[in-house]
């Protein structure tokens, strides 16, 4: 039944037709069994738990009378199905920069042994094949001042907090977690990294072979010397935000395809914040490389637990065309509409 809707703007007439089709007993209301049939007919894969059905039913039952009426459907199903079948998509490409590939923080020397250069041809292929499907393509860049808090060689410029487990600065090494005192924010927890992605340095440049989509923009993060920013949306303590969310909101974006470096650090943080804001979020796993095997697995598990999806580039054609509709994607559309409605998206 729903194969007629991908890529189509859903209208009130469509909602009436859908309601009539799934009102099996013709009592002019959808009960829970009928809504279950509706949801399972939309999804092309995956299963619907009882708790998930309850959530969707409560969402559709706008007047909270225990039944989904035609007016409930008009109010709630119209925006929900619009996200599922025609929601605008953006791609966020996170930190595909020289220092994470061949420079001071090259991922291939870390435990996962993943070479960041491998994401470049995959991303280029996606841009070449699917750029028309993206309303915008965002490239984020770590863009640190020379005195940034995350650099181990800047440790002497700040005082270790009494809250830090490591009390002796001389014993702090790469990848250690410390708490540092800052004038602007007080105590800040920080992983110590080698100097990387310093503003206007060659290490901060995007990989030379990475293609830029015609409709692209860039987001610069980690620009405050006293706080790190893994996510392309917020700094690590959510004290300041970039303009990414505002840009996406102005374009009406509902769906994000997220990829880049590193899976379990900046990509994972960006994806988590995207979901928190209400975006339906897909991790493009063959266009990502990570640091720690356990961290990569945890990032994917966290994403899918919040109704995100993990896909490979070969699956994008059907997903972007809205013909592939995993159950998680259908459920995530509820979160998207609710957060749009209350203004948090």
Active-site pick, 266, 288, 289, 336: 266
User: Would you call 197 a catalytic residue per the annotation?
Assistant: no
What is the CATH architecture of 89-145+195-321? 3-Layer(aba) Sandwich (3.40)
Residues of the chain with CATH 3.40.50.850: 89-145+195-321
Cα angle: 10, vertex 14, 18; to 5 degrees: 120
Q: Percent of the chain having pLDDT more than 90?
A: 98
What are 287-310's pLDDT values in tens digits?
Answer: 999 999 999 999 999 999 999 999
> What is the model's pLDDT at position 236?
97
Mean pLDDT of 150-158: 97
Mean pLDDT of 168-187: 96
Q: Looking at the predicted structure, is the pLDDT value of residue 342 above 80?
A: no
Mean pLDDT of 168-176: 97
Q: Looking at the predicted structure, is the pLDDT value of residue 341 above 70?
A: no
Going by pLDDT thresholds of 50, 70 and 90, the confidence category of residue 30 is very high
Going by pLDDT thresholds of 50, 70 and 90, the confidence category of residue 191 is very high
| CATH superfamily membership of 1-87+322-344 | EF-hand (1.10.238.10)
Q: Looking at the predicted structure, is the pLDDT value of residue 345 above 70?
A: no
User: Would you call 339 a catalytic residue per the annotation?
Assistant: no
Active-site pick, 211, 221, 300, 322: 221
Active-site pick, 14, 61, 95, 264: 95
Q: Looking at the predicted structure, is the pLDDT value of residue 258 above 80?
A: yes
User: Would you call 266 a catalytic residue per the annotation?
Assistant: yes
**What is the spatial distance between Cα 132 and Cα 312, in angstroms, rounded to a whole number?**
18
Residues of the chain with CATH 1.10.238.10: 1-87+322-344
DSSP labels for 154-201? GGGGSPBPTT-S---GGG--TT-EEEEEETTTEEEEEE-B-S--BTTS
Q: Looking at the predicted structure, is the pLDDT value of residue 53 above 80?
A: yes
**What is the spatial distance between Cα 96 and Cα 204, in angstroms, rounded to a whole number?**
9
Q: Looking at the predicted structure, is the pLDDT value of residue 340 above 90?
A: no
Q: What 3-state class would DSSP assign to 59?
A: helix
> Which residues have CB under 8 Å from 176's CB, separation 6+?
166, 191, 192
Q: Looking at the predicted structure, is the pLDDT value of residue 327 above 90?
A: yes
Q: Looking at the predicted structure, is the pLDDT value of residue 344 above 90?
A: no
> What is the model's pLDDT at position 339?
87
Q: Percent of the chain having pLDDT more than 70?
A: 99
Classify strands 186-191 and 216-221 as parallel, antiparallel or unpaired.
unpaired
């Amino acid at each position: 039944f729903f194969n007629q809707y991908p890529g189509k703007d859903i209208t009130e007439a469509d909602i009436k037709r859908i309601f009539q089709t799934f009102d099996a007993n013709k009592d002019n209301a959808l009960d829970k069994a009928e809504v279950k049939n509706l949801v399972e007919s939309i999804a092309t894969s995956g299963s619907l738990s009882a708790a998930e059905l309850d959530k969707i039913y409560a969402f559709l039952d706008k007047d909270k009378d225990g039944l989904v009426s035609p007016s409930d459907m008009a109010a709630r199903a119209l925006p929900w199905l619009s996200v599922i079948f025609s929601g605008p998509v953006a791609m966020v490409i996170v930190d595909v920069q020289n220092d994470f590939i061949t420079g001071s923080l090259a991922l291939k020397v870390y435990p996962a042994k993943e070479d960041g250069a491998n994401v470049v041809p995959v991303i280029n292929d996606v841009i070449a094949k699917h750029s028309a499907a993206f309303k915008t393509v965002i490239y984020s860049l770590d863009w640190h001042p020379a005195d940034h808090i995350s650099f181990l060689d800047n440790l002497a410029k700040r005082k270790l907090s009494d809250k830090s487990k490591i009390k002796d600065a001389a014993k702090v090494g790469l990848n250690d977690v410390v708490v540092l005192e800052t004038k602007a924010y007080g105590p800040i927890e920080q992983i110590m990294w080698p100097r990387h992605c310093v503003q206007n340095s060659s290490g901060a440049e995007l990989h030379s072979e990475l293609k830029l989509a015609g409709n692209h923009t860039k987001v610069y993060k980690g620009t405050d010397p006293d706080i790190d920013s893994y996510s392309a949306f917020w700094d690590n303590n959510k004290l300041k935000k970039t303009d990414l969310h505002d840009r996406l909101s102005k374009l009406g974006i509902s769906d994000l395809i997220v990829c880049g470096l590193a899976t379990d650090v900046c990509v994972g943080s960006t994806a988590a914040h995207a979901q928190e804001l209400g975006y339906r979020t897909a991790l493009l796993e063959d266009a990502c490389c990570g640091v720690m095997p356990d961290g990569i697995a945890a990032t994917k598990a966290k994403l899918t637990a919040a109704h995100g999806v993990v896909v490979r580039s070969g699956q994008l054609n059907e997903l972007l065309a809205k013909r592939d509709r995993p159950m998680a994607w259908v459920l995530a559309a509820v979160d998207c509409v609710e957060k749009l409605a209350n203004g948090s998206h």
